[in-house]
Amino acid sequence: MIADEQDRTVTRLRHELGAVGVRSHADQVDRVLRRVHTRRREQRQHRIQMATALAVVLIAVAGAFVVGWRQSEQDQITATEHVVDWGLRGDLAGNAEVVRHAETVWRSGPTPPTGRVYPVYAGRHIERSASLVVVALVTPVDRMHSRVAFVTSPISDNQTPDVKSLSVRATTVIGAGQRAIGFLNARTNPRDARLRGGGGLGFILAEPGVTDVTYRSSLVDAQLVETPVRLPDGAGGFVTQQGVAAWNSIIEIPGGPTPATANFAAGISEASVVPVTLAATGTEIKVTGDVRDGDLIVTANGVVGLVGVVTGSDGTLETRLSELRRFGEVETAITKHPVRLSERDGGTYFEAERGEIRAGNRIVLVVGDVTINIGKVAEDGARVERLVDPTTTTVAMRVRPS
């Protein structure tokens, strides 16, 4: 018999059975009572499990609320945390020797990191005309910025990149919340195999889950031309035409009503390109960031202005296009005819030293390998319409030729 006569259910069951005079074997009542006890025990355990699960959900929701609230505070977000959260990807991610070698190369290079380095990509990109190994490394700069380095092998044209021969190809500074990083070489390095057409090479690493991005360059015609890049593992390389570079191109990441954008890093031996911000102060435009006198301020669409050329060393932007002669050669985009710009009657006018320049033709600024749109010839055939309005531009790039 079950020794639990204190249980009211047991007592009631025995009483009811006795009252109706049920005939049964001696152990049948015990079997029924065992089932009753088992069922009650299961119900108690079920209630405990439900209560525990509810408590876990409430804790998780509360925790998510706290984390979300904390992350909404600007001083809790850093670019380093954002990029590092992507994790290490690529077919060489498990090759610790390659990753360590890449970090050693960066630390011994011209722009070495001063703190901890986080690898976010290590892989091989094999193509018929341009194969290479890429290792992407990140190090914090301050609470809102990080420096990225792309350490690569030389470009190979026989699909056999040398994983042991690495060098720093490009570095740049990124801000908080960036959804893609990449480099874009206007020209190849001395140890690279020559690319067909004399163009350059680009590489993009997108945040996890993104497999389609677009890069755009204004060097082709007056508009940014869209070129899709397939990223089967979130990373991809591509060959560009001559002149396409970090200072006239941009990365676009799909999602939301407006695609997110990111700047390319320029090659280590090319012009230095970093992001800057612009703000109107009265009748002047100030540039905030790593700038000095003579720096060129641009967007992927074209020239915004020059820093401190006329106004002095206070970050004020000189936006008159005629002042670009202080920086480089002004010429037509296709025919390379020299052009002189002048300001009068509230507009910018041009004079061609030779050749005919028709409406719609682009005028560009050329400084060594740097080529950037200035504007296009207006319908009247005399004025130049600039392609970037300085008064409405708030985010730009600083270009400093090597």
Residue 179 near residue 210, CB atoms below 8 Å: yes
What is the gyration radius of the CA atoms in the chain, in angstroms? 33
List all residues 6 or more positions away from 116 whose beta carbon is below 8 Å from its beta carbon.
Answer: 139, 140
Q: β-strands 212-217, 235-239: how paired? A: unpaired
pLDDT of residue 225: 55
Q: What is the DSSP string of 141-206?
A: -SSSEEEEEEEEPPPBSSS---TT--EEEEEEEEETT--EEEEEESS--TTSPPPGGG--EEEEEE
Give phi and psi for 37, each to the nearest 5: -65, -40
Beta-bridge mates of residue 276: 396
Q: At what angle do helices 26-71 and 8-20 cross, to 10 degrees?
A: 150
> Which residue type, as a one-letter code, is found at position 211?
T
Give phi and psi for 74, each to the nearest 5: -60, -35
* Tens digits of pLDDT across the chain (402 residues): 444 444 444 444 444 444 444 444 444 444 444 554 445 555 555 454 544 444 433 333 333 333 332 232 333 333 334 687 789 999 999 999 999 999 999 999 888 999 999 999 999 988 888 999 999 999 988 888 889 999 999 999 999 999 999 999 999 988 878 899 999 999 889 999 988 777 889 999 999 888 888 888 888 654 555 677 767 778 988 888 888 999 999 998 887 778 889 999 999 999 999 889 999 888 889 998 889 888 999 999 999 999 976 555 578 999 999 999 888 999 998 888 899 999 998 899 988 877 678 888 899 999 988 999 999 999 998 899 999 999 999 999 999 987
Burial class of residue 311 in the structure, from the number of CB atoms within 10 Å of its CB (0-12 exposed, 13-18 middle, 19+ buried): middle
- Give CA–CA dist 99/343, Å, rounded: 54
- Give CA–CA dist 204/76, Å, rounded: 27
The full set of domain ranges for the chain reads 8-71, 79-270, 274-400
What does each C-alpha distance from 151 to 37, 63, 148, 187, 297 come to in angstroms? 69, 39, 10, 16, 27
Smallest Cα–Cα separation from 284: which of 233, 318, 324?
A: 318
Q: β-strands 395-400, 303-307: how paired? A: unpaired
List all residues 6 or more positions away from 226 whose beta carbon is below 8 Å from its beta carbon.
Answer: 214, 216, 252
Tokens of 263: 């700047």
> Which residue type, as a one-letter code, is found at position 329?
E
pLDDT of residue 226: 61
The SS3 of residue 312 is coil
What letter does residue 224 receive in the DSSP assignment? P
pTM: 0.74
pLDDT of residue 392: 93
Tokens of 129: 């005309």
What letter does residue 392 receive in the DSSP assignment? G
